[in-house]
Amino acid sequence: MKEGNETKIDENPSSETSVPDGDPVDVGSDSSKRPPRDGLIPNFTELSKARLNALVLGTTAVGFAVAPVHQTAMILFWTMVGTGLVAFSSAMMNQLAEVELDRKMKRTEGRPLPAGLVSKRSVFITSMLLAYAGVVILGLKVNLLCSGLALANLLIYIVMYTPMKTRTTLNTLVGAICGAIPPMIGWAAATGDISGGAWLLGLILFIWQLPHFFALAVMYKVDYERGGFAMLPVKDKRGEVTVQVILTTSLMLLPLGLTITAIGVSGWWYAGVSIVMGLWMAWNALKLYLDRNRDQARRVFFSTLAYLPVVLGVMVLDRGPSVPSPELYEAMNPYPVTERPVIDPFMNEPTSEPD
């Protein structure tokens, strides 16, 4: 409801998709409370956050695919296996740390731990085994750089991000670092290093997560407050800072997306799609800025869900180089445009073969 210059996010809009005050909007069902599902596979799927970590694996594969180096399918396979195991482990450790908080939230009270379907001990042991296996697989089958990145990501997620969620609104920024690292792991698996393209991919993922998760936090504001999480929409009572951040970060994706073409990672078809999707996402963010309600926050959230797979998919299909500035490309990527090294695991130096 708007009150002069002080506009609060309307938690009970008058549209037909509104919900009663105090009940969060659910993304995929009529009720935000999901009944617990017992069984090994449902419990593991929930504990490992399989749907969320499918995005992690997808961005890892994108980083591998657009890197300027030919690499074998087996390297990609082991990269995905190792990264997936570490991601599953971090999700389990996070739920172990937040089990009491999850009991307070309608959206999470049906998870296996708060519902009492599994023991903390079994989840802890499983998470440690998965983390160990993932880091070792990446180190032995891919390279030590990927192993180190995965381990660093796990530690940032558990040691920094998880405890910050109840203490400061800056937790989302730290969590976004964790989401930015997987495409860098993919790139490092292909090239053995982290050059400019990898950093740019990571930056795009970092920025994308801010409007995505802040829009989600607006939708579940009451539930996050009930659970004691220090999310920005919870602390920002008027919603002014929240919508400004959502709009600003959505707009930032436009030039960042074009930079991918500028350094030769992808071509002009990608640039066009990136502009169209970025403008659509920014338009939804602008409408949220002008009319702050959870229905519009949901539209922003779904536009972010559409943006990422479309833009990353076209990035892979139209992977470069289409280079307007060869000097910039050479500065950002250590490999020549006309040659792509093939990494031989039995040699210290990469060999080159023409495209």
| 201 in the same domain as 176 | no
pLDDT tens, position by position, 253-270:
999 999 999 888 888 999
Whether the CA torsion 49, 52, 56, 62 is positive or negative: it is: positive
Q: What CATH number is given to the structural domain containing 72? A: 1.10.357.140
pTM given for the model: 0.80
Q: Is 355 exposed, middle or buried (0-12, 13-18, 19+ CB in 10 A)?
A: exposed
pLDDT tens, position by position, 126-142:
999 999 999 999 999 99
Question: Which residue type sits at 14?
Answer: S
Structure-model confidence comparison of residues 331 and 66, the more confident one: 66
| 241 in the same domain as 166 | no
Residue 18 confidence (pLDDT)? 35
Q: Residue 275: pLDDT above 60?
A: yes
Whether 349 maps to a domain, the answer reads: no
| 103 in the same domain as 152 | yes
Q: Residue 26: pLDDT above 80?
A: no
Query: Percent of the chain, pLDDT > 70?
Result: 79
For residue 24, the tally of other CB atoms under 10 A from its CB is: 22
Distance CA 194, CA 273 (A): 26
What mean pLDDT value characterizes the chain?
83
The least confident of 7-21, 54-68, 273-287 is 7-21
Q: Residue 245: pLDDT above 90?
A: yes
Question: Which residue type sits at 346?
Answer: F
Q: What is the mean pLDDT of residues 279-298?
A: 94
| 159 in the same domain as 57 | yes
Q: Residue 307: pLDDT above 80?
A: yes
| 190 in the same domain as 44 | yes
Whether 342 maps to a domain, the answer reads: no
Structure-model confidence comparison of residues 227 and 28, the more confident one: 227
For residue 320, the enclosing domain spans 195-336
- Domain ends where: 172, 194, 216? 194
Instruction: Return the closest-CA partner of residue 133 out of 55, 177, 174, 81.
Output: 81
| 101 in the same domain as 79 | yes
pLDDT bucket at 278, cuts 50 / 70 / 90: very high
- Domain ends where: 176, 194, 212? 194
CB 214 within 8 A of CB 245: yes
Whether 111 maps to a domain, the answer reads: yes
Residue 246 confidence (pLDDT)? 96
CA distances from 308 to 56, 104, 175, 209, 246 (A): 12, 31, 17, 10, 16
Q: What pairing do the DSSP bridges indicate for beta strands 339-342 and 351-354?
A: antiparallel
Q: What is the mean pLDDT of residues 150-159?
A: 96
Q: What is the mean pLDDT of residues 329-337?
A: 51
Whether 24 maps to a domain, the answer reads: no
| 294 in the same domain as 272 | yes
| 325 in the same domain as 200 | yes
Residue 304 confidence (pLDDT)? 96
| 307 in the same domain as 199 | yes
- Domain ends where: 194, 218, 234? 194
| 151 in the same domain as 241 | no
| 221 in the same domain as 161 | no
Q: What is the mean pLDDT of residues 74-88?
A: 96
Q: Residue 251: pLDDT above 50?
A: yes
pLDDT bucket at 9, cuts 50 / 70 / 90: low
Query: Percent of the chain, pLDDT > 90?
Result: 59
| 307 in the same domain as 232 | yes
Total domains present in the chain: 2
Q: What CATH number is given to the structural domain containing 315? A: 1.20.120
Whether 167 maps to a domain, the answer reads: yes
Whether 33 maps to a domain, the answer reads: no
